[in-house]
Structure 1
Amino acid sequence: MELFTKDDLNAMISAAMMSPNFKVIEYKFDSVYNFGNTKMGRHCRLMVIVEYPDDVRRTHSFFSKFVPEIEEYKNFVRVNDCFGKEAYFYSHIASIMKTLLPSEIPLPIPMCYFARGGSRESVSLQPCPNFEASAIILQDLLPLGYQPMDMWTLLDLSHCRIVMRALAIFHGGSVLLQQSKSESLEYEGENEAIILVNESVFISDEESLSNKILHACSETTASVICQIWPIMYPKERSYNKLLHAIWNSWKNVFSMLHTVNRHKRVICHGELCGNNILFAYEREHHGGRKPVDVKFVDMQLLRYAPPITDILMFLHVCTRRMFRHEHLSNLLSYYHIEFVRAVSPKVANKTLPLEALKTSVEDMREFGLMAAIYLLPKCLAYRPARRSAEFHFSPERFGNFSSPRESHFSKRYSLNDAEQYYQNNSQVLFENQAPRILERMEENRSFKIRLIEAYEEYLEFIGLWKNPLSSQ
């Protein structure tokens, strides 16, 4: 069965053009994106030639996403209903958030033209006959100048401020949707759906795939620490102690996310790093460039949690420790200014005053530390996506389109670094990956420095850091 039919294509083009008056001449899936086939899905560009009533033909490009090919990752996406969650967000929740935010403040996400997936077919834009047919088609941001974040380039203050502003708007839209329940019955169903956004990654159920992955992460982390600092942490005496401490930290994370506490909860992005963040830039007079906007993509890991979880995850994975020490307080203040602008001073003071936001940092700091331990080895495991110069869209580059059947993207892909990494590591998703991480550390000093810093900061936090001198 074809993943994407001609009827699907017509529905998507109609939504994008906001008109039924067109004729699809040709289309194909193009593997121009270097982050093509990864753990959460297959990504490619959909190229379409459309003819309009005035006989003018135009070429349009879209970003498309389908279920992963690798079985282990496919199971994770299926069990956690990741496509259903993302399709529901774009087709229902986001559309309402946009109407509730001030008209001059756009939600920092791409336009969605087609969403079908998971077990939520009754509420997605298109009915989904089965999991394999899940598909999401979005606005292509790359021709508009947006560039995927490079995980190897640590973000400076200007980039972080742009992300704080966008997060404040994203979280603010969620707060306004929650507030709307008391004022109108119109959005009551969607409000209940916010609360039912299920956690996909940090799950306490011992039988879940996610929990097994976290156990493997714990074993990996304890093993790597023992190998990096064998004198301070001899494996025969320290491994089990470290493993116990790390798993206790995961239990604390479970409690933070699944226990109702004093901190306001909102819809959070869930994995704000790497290719999920795209920046737009403008040139400065001296030849440099500065970030002026950002968009968030990949809503498959949405969670209903305190907003500080997004902030801490982003900062712990995308910046260094000294940077956070110098700028965290100011970044929180800037986030709150933008949050007030998005929801109004009255709503902000009622739902998330600045002091409550700063208090949540101390209460949930362990979440940021664990997010870094979990995500950094994955995010830095392969080279980043190609730079923007290789993404610029020019219809002439592609010449004559081949037929859709002949250009089925799963047959046309050549493996890139991200794909190669996930294919090579899919079989050890639930196993100790210390040998691979240690090998990578030997190959790449930057990788080693980033991970050592994350481990050292975590060990200090739990009181097990034995060396007063920096390991660097």
Structure 2
Amino acid sequence: MKMDFFTEDDLTATLMSAIMSPNFKILDHRFDKVYNFGSTKMGTHRRLVLEIEDSENDQHLLSFFAKFVPENEAHKAFAIANDCFGKEVYFYSHIASIMEPMLPYEMPLPIPMCHFARVGSTESNTSDSGLSFEASAIILQDLYHLGFVPMNMWIPLDLPYCRVVMRALAIFHGGSVLIQNSKGESSELAEVHEAIFSIKESVFIFDEDAPSGKILHGVVETTANLICQFWPQKYPKEQFYQRLLDILWNSFRNVGAMLQPSHDLLSVLCHGELCGNNILFAYEKDQEEQAPVDAKFVDMQLMRYSSPITDILTFLHVCTRRGFRNKHLPELLSYYQMEFSRAVSPKVATKTLSLEELQTCAKDMKEFGLVAAIHLIPVCLAQSPAQTTVSSFHFDDEDCHQIQDMLGRQSLPYRRDSLLEPLPEPLQKAYSMQENQSEIIFETMRANRKFRGRLEEAYIEYLEFVGLWESSSSE
């Protein structure tokens, strides 16, 4: 990362937003790696560390989370085609600031504060700044210092984790409902109101020439190949491969139809990819067995305007196991609806999203959750951080102590799953291409039993749904 990526005015604007004071002098800045997932399909992430001097001539280190355009050309093309940075910048600069004061004081939006955001020009989306797309950047509050760390996809989440996420989702969706139900008292509110309704789908686009379409083709071909490789006697490739392709494409198109806004059912601003590194958890302190107490969401680039159940099903099908969902889904839907009612008021909740409607949506749109698992589990596991201890955050000891002292933090967050091994490097690189990845994933599955178990479960549940696998009474 170039050290001159940000101008002095950019850094000054960031600090002004963060500390709400003009009384500082910037001495230096640098970029550090962050969270062990510095480059993903949706962006390049770095920690921005600023060294400043205050009006008393005391020096401090301030840390921020910085996001830049993807390094991979295929991912960059996807981001440009779908205006991903434009969506996220608009969310932080306009939508979030309208949502926040509408919600109850005790239910803040489950997102980090944004201190700086800009989107450069593309061939299809020019900006007034005249900057190139590579100049796009977002600087967020560093949630690490508030005790938030990424989830580890290798350990499926249990009920306490899921309840925390259901509450955060209810608040996020509730903020959208409050905007949608507003009367448009100001021009800014009217603009945001219209912007939410006009948000375009980024993933389930069936244009074969579009980056999204190419990615979907890759997922379908990969899945069909893997099923034939996994169970060659049950699904010999010469007999089943084309049939599987057709069935999978039909499911993907069904899901694409489900994502369209409905005239009869509630549609809201949805996160769009609520799993993996996009969820950060905070924990109780000074407890031997840490329990999650809060969750925040990052990466708003795939936002969609759709049923709230799409976020719920994505999260549950990708981040939990099948037996858990079968046992706890009714309880979690009920908890979500209760928190949603608190966020928007019982009267509004009754008119917009009853528990009965939520339960019906979960049943009718189950295929969406199954497709989300097929699509996202390999990606999330490939990008899951190897560990979440202090060492994974790439601070040296002196920096850690300075920043902790400045923020009044006595300890850094730990997780019980800190010794898990990452996936091999080849799989982490596989998702930089829009093509069949079955061979490399199959080899990884042979070498990693946990990875194989997660994918086997997702494929079997899907095959049962489409009538190609006889259900077992033990499952």
Give TM-score, length-normalised by structure 2. Answer: 0.89
Cα RMSD, aligned residues only: 2.6
Superposed counterparts of 1:133-212, under 5 Å: 133-181=135-183, 186-212=188-214
Shift of 1:17: 1.3
Specify the code of the residue in structure 1 equivalent to 2:27. Answer: I
Q: How many residues are aligned here?
A: 452
Change (3 A) 1:284 1:19: closer
Shift of 1:321: 0.4
Superposed counterparts of 1:28-177, under 5 Å: 28-118=30-120, 127=129, 129-177=131-179
> Counterpart of 2:299?
298
Change (3 A) 1:16 1:397: closer
Shift of 1:20: 2.0
> Counterpart of 1:12?
14
Specify which of 462, 466, 474 is matched with residue 462 of structure 1: 466
Q: 2: distance between equivalents of 1:63 and 1:206? A: 35
**Contact 2:168–2:295, Cα closer than 8 Å, also in 1:** yes
The answer as to 2:425 corresponding to 1:424 is no
> Counterpart of 2:445?
441
**Contact 2:49–2:62, Cα closer than 8 Å, also in 1:** yes
Specify the code of the residue in structure 1 equivalent to 2:374. Answer: I
**Contact 1:282–1:289, Cα closer than 8 Å, also in 2:** yes
Q: 1: distance between equivalents of 2:468 and 2:365? A: 19
Q: 1: distance between equivalents of 2:50 and 2:67? A: 16
Structure 1 unaligned segments of length 5 or more: list them: 401-415
> Counterpart of 2:290?
289
> Counterpart of 2:416?
none
Tell me the secondary structure at the aligned position of residue 258 of structure 1.
Answer: coil
1:423-468, CA deviations, whole angstroms, 9 ceiling, x for partnerless residues?
73256x2221110111011010011111011000001111111475
Q: 2: distance between equivalents of 1:30 and 1:145? A: 19
**Contact 2:184–2:193, Cα closer than 8 Å, also in 1:** no
Tell me the secondary structure at the aligned position of residue 381 of structure 1.
Answer: helix
Tell me the secondary structure at the aligned position of residue 300 of structure 1.
Answer: coil
Shift of 1:388: 3.3
Q: 2: distance between equivalents of 1:142 and 1:124? A: 34
Give TM-score, length-normalised by structure 1. Answer: 0.90
Change (3 A) 1:322 1:8: same
Q: 2: distance between equivalents of 1:261 and 1:42? A: 38
Specify the code of the residue in structure 2 equivalent to 1:29. Answer: F
Q: 2: distance between equivalents of 1:126 and 1:385? A: 41
Shift of 1:56: 2.1
Change (3 A) 1:175 1:15: same
> Counterpart of 1:255?
257
Specify the code of the residue in structure 2 equivalent to 1:458. Answer: Y
Shift of 1:469: 7.8
Shift of 1:353: 1.1
**Contact 1:284–1:290, Cα closer than 8 Å, also in 2:** no
Change (3 A) 1:462 1:443: same
> Counterpart of 2:280?
278
> Counterpart of 1:264?
266
> Counterpart of 1:406?
none
> Counterpart of 1:412?
none
Tell me the secondary structure at the aligned position of residue 289 of structure 1.
Answer: coil
Specify the code of the residue in structure 1 equivalent to 2:16. Answer: S
Structure 2 unaligned segments of length 5 or more: list them: 403-420
**Contact 2:224–2:244, Cα closer than 8 Å, also in 1:** yes
Q: Sequence identity, in percent?
A: 58
Specify the code of the residue in structure 1 equivalent to 2:19. Answer: M
> Counterpart of 1:411?
none
In terms of mean alpha carbon deviation, does 375-384 or 269-278 score higher? 375-384
> Counterpart of 1:330?
331
Change (3 A) 1:380 1:8: same
Shift of 1:302: 0.7
In terms of mean alpha carbon deviation, does 215-224 or 459-468 score higher? 459-468
